[in-house]
Structure 1
Amino acid sequence: MRGTLYLLIVGLGGLAILLWLGFWQVQRLDEKLGIIADIDARIAAEPGPLPANPGAEADSYLPVSVTGSFGEGYLRVLVSQKDIGAGYRIISPFTTDEGRTIMVDRGFVPVAREDIPAPAEDVTLSGNLQWPREIDSFTPEPDLTDNTWFARDVPAMAAALTTEPILLVARDTSFSDLPVVPLPVDTSAIPNDHLQYAITWFSLAAIWAAMTVAFILRLRRTPKT
């Protein structure tokens, strides 16, 4: 009887913990879906003017429209596109009609493309401000000789292009930027694995409950000596 009671206490305690973890992940899933929905709504909102002093916390994903002209030169950030393969994001300096110079992420070109012409003067484009968090301890330093960067490092790229540390990711333009294809900001890269975690915890809870029952039945069937 004591053995059965012990297994029952351990089994119910472990089951309660695993179920709590599963329901906690369901709650986190609801919260994350709400956050993503808010970001999607912010991304798709009507573009406004470029703020005077935008910041990464307050203005990330902010839709902005600017008019002006592209400067000479650009940076290439190595990326990969599904069904296309390796290529580069093209980051160019852009001077607005108000005299401010920022960076524009124009979009993607295949890796074999070498000649990236600057768009004509007096253009209008809209997109979203972004401060990507792509740098970690494993990110290589940019190859300045080959003009190849391995992540979008806003402060470092701004220093290289002599612009404000502001990156506008293009969405719509008043011109054809071919061969560059825009890669607008979206929420597809935001991790949301809480459903998988919840399923894992609930599965472990079911296994734990089954094992507890099996041990109790085995104990009760064991002949007493």
Structure 2
Amino acid sequence: MRLVLLVVSGVLAVAVLVSLGLWQVQRLHWKQEILTRIETRISADPSPLPATFDEAADRYRPVEISGRSTGEELHVLVSTAATGAGYRVIVPFETDEGRRIMVDLGVIPTEEKAPPRAGQHMDVLGNLHWPQETDRFTPDPERGRNIWFARDVPIMAETLGTEPVLVVARRTEPPVPDVLALPITTEGIPNDHLNYAITWFSLAAICAGMTLLLALRMARGKEETDG
């Protein structure tokens, strides 16, 4: 009876673990399709800045704008493989059409934080974005030192007196001195479903092996007892 219970319990546990692995494989295909759609949208032909915005529909939309930065800056703490610790430079941007939005020009090393870059007229190719970088653990910005810990578009727009719109620059003409463009890619979007699937399938294999080993030991022990 104990052997039967062991085998039944082992089979049920393996079935559950395999089903979780298969579910993660399905999630992997779903996430890959989403990433492909995002990559296609990011690299599409740019359009003028739309008159109105829908965050869900317009996120990642490529745009081309012309206008002037004002010389004001907000600095968002960031770390990249290319530059190490640094700051994203968020500036108010007054378009030639008379609108005032924000542009993420890119990243500067920490030692380039001051003085701010002078305002200049430029053409910007970039993507609309409303980053979701804040949660209840995100510290409040240190406004006196101009250090922000996330790109909080509504709060930044209120601070800079702009529309709640952010264009992340892929390229500026002319280039902004000492600023390295940090365009939107899908690299920062997590896709760990393959690792999860491997974990569940590995646990299923371990569980199956342990069940088989214990069943053989119990069967051998029963034969010795009966003999």
Normalising by the residue count of structure 1, what TM-score does the alignment of the two structures yield?
0.95
Alignment-derived partner of residue 203 in structure 2: 204
Alignment-derived partner of residue 214 in structure 1: 213
Percent identical across equivalent pairs? 50
* Aligned amino acid, residue 149 of structure 1: W
Alignment-derived partner of residue 89 in structure 2: 90
Structure 2 counterparts to residues 132-171 of structure 1, below 5 A: 132-171=131-170
- In the TM superposition, residue 85 of structure 1 has moved relative to its aligned partner by 2.0
In 1, the alpha carbon distance for the partners of 2:117 and 2:55 equals 30
* Aligned amino acid, residue 92 of structure 2: P
* Aligned amino acid, residue 117 of structure 2: P
Unaligned runs of 5+ in 2: none
| SS of corresponding position for 2:177 | coil
Unaligned runs of 5+ in 1: none
Q: Which has the higher helix share?
A: 2
In 1, the alpha carbon distance for the partners of 2:69 and 2:219 equals 80
RMSD: 1.2
In 2, the alpha carbon distance for the partners of 1:185 and 1:118 equals 24
- In the TM superposition, residue 119 of structure 1 has moved relative to its aligned partner by 4.6
- In the TM superposition, residue 3 of structure 1 has moved relative to its aligned partner by 2.4
Change (3 A) 1:97 1:84: closer
- Length, aligned pairs only: 223
Structure 1 residue 12 and structure 2 residue 11: aligned? yes
CA deviation map 1:76-125 (0-9, x unaligned): 1111122532111000011111111000000010101112323522x211
Normalising by the residue count of structure 2, what TM-score does the alignment of the two structures yield?
0.94
Structure 2 counterparts to residues 5-154 of structure 1, below 5 A: 5-113=4-112, 114-121=114-121, 123-154=122-153
Between 7-16 and 17-26, the greater mean CA deviation after superposition: 7-16
CA deviation map 1:135-179 (0-9, x unaligned): 112211111111111111100100110000000000022212111
Between 149-158 and 7-16, the greater mean CA deviation after superposition: 7-16
- In the TM superposition, residue 55 of structure 1 has moved relative to its aligned partner by 2.2
**1:73–1:93 Cα contact (<8 Å) kept:** yes
